[in-house]
Amino acid sequence: MEIICNQTQLIGALNTALKAVSVKTSYPILECILIETEDNSIRLTANDNDFCIEVVIPATVNRVGRIAINARMFSDLIRKLPPNDVVISTDETFSVSIVCGKANFALRGLSGEEFPKPLAYDNSNPVVISQFTLKELIRQTIFAVSTNESSRVMTGEYFEISGSRLRVTALDGFRVSIRNVELRGSYEPHNVIVPGKVLSEIGKILSGEMDEDVRICFDDRNIIFEFDHTIVHSRLIDGKYFVIDSMINTECGTKVTLNRRELIDSVDRASLFVKETEKKPVVVEVFENYISVSINSQSGSMYDEIMSEREGNDMKIGFTPKFLLDILRVVDDDTVNLYMQNSKNPCFVRANDDSYIYMLLPVNIGSH
Amino acid sequence: MEIICNQTQLIGALNTALKAVSVKTSYPILECILIETEDNSIRLTANDNDFCIEVVIPATVNRVGRIAINARMFSDLIRKLPPNDVVISTDETFSVSIVCGKANFALRGLSGEEFPKPLAYDNSNPVVISQFTLKELIRQTIFAVSTNESSRVMTGEYFEISGSRLRVTALDGFRVSIRNVELRGSYEPHNVIVPGKVLSEIGKILSGEMDEDVRICFDDRNIIFEFDHTIVHSRLIDGKYFVIDSMINTECGTKVTLNRRELIDSVDRASLFVKETEKKPVVVEVFENYISVSINSQSGSMYDEIMSEREGNDMKIGFTPKFLLDILRVVDDDTVNLYMQNSKNPCFVRANDDSYIYMLLPVNIGSH
CB of B99 within 8 Å of any CB in chain A?
no
Flag residues of chain A having pLDDT under 70. Answer: 250, 252, 367-368
Kindly report the pTM of this predicted structure. 0.91
Interface test with B, best of A102, A287, A296 (most B CBs within 10 A): A102
Q: How much is the pLDDT for A291?
A: 98
Is residue B70 within 8 Å of B22, Cβ to Cβ?
Answer: no
Name, in order, each residue with C-beta under 8 angstroms of B251's C-beta and a sequence gap of 6 or more.
Answer: none
Is residue B179 within 8 Å of B171, Cβ to Cβ?
Answer: no
This model of the complex carries an ipTM of 0.88
Distance CA A124, CA B173 (A): 67
Burial status of residue A225 (CB atoms within 10 A of its CB: 0-12, 13-18, 19 or more): buried
Q: Where are the alpha helices (DSSP H) in B105-195?
A: 131-141
Name, in order, each residue with C-beta under 8 angstroms of B352's C-beta and a sequence gap of 6 or more.
Answer: B337
3-state SS of A173-230 is CCEEEEEEEEEEEEEEEEEEEEEHHHHHHHHHHCCCCCCCEEEEEECCCEEEEEECCE
Inter-chain residue contact A73 with B265, CB threshold 8 Å? no
CB of A153 within 8 Å of any CB in chain B?
no
3-state class (DSSP) for residue B221 = coil
Is residue A46 within 8 Å of A33, Cβ to Cβ?
Answer: yes
Q: Which residue of B has its CA nearest to A95?
A: B300
Residue range(s) of every CATH 3.10.150.10 domain in chain B: 2-114, 127-245, 248-360
Considering only CA atoms, which of A167, A165, A170, A242 is closest in space to residue A199? A170
In this structure, is the dihedral angle defined by the CA atoms of residues A77, A79, A82 and A87, taken in order, positive or negative? positive
Give the pLDDT confidence of A200-217 residue by residue, as tens digits. 999 999 999 999 999 999
pLDDT along chain B (368 residues), means of 10: 97 97 88 97 94 97 97 96 96 96 95 93 93 98 94 96 97 96 95 97 94 93 96 96 85 90 97 89 96 95 97 95 97 95 93 95 80
Using CB atoms, which residue from B106, B108, B272 is nearest to A80? B272
Domain B127-245: homologous superfamily in CATH:
DNA Polymerase III, subunit A, domain 2 (3.10.150.10)
**How many angstroms from the chain centroid is the CA of residue B360?**
20
Q: B248-360: which CATH topology? A: DNA Polymerase III; Chain A, domain 2 (3.10.150)
Inter-chain residue contact B299 with A108, CB threshold 8 Å? yes
Q: What is the mean pLDDT of chain A?
A: 94
CA distances, B315 to each of A168, B78, B168, B258, B339 (Å): 67, 59, 30, 15, 11
Distance CA B224, CA B238 (A): 16
Q: How much is the pLDDT for B279?
A: 85
How many residues are listed for chain A in this entry? 368
Provide the 8-state DSSP code for A277.
T
CATH class given for the domain over A2-114: alpha beta
Inter-chain residue contact B269 with A81, CB threshold 8 Å? yes
**How many C-beta atoms lie closer than 10 Å to residue B232's C-beta?**
26
Interface test with A, best of B70, B302, B306, B307 (most A CBs within 10 A): B302
Distance CA A216, CA A233 (A): 10
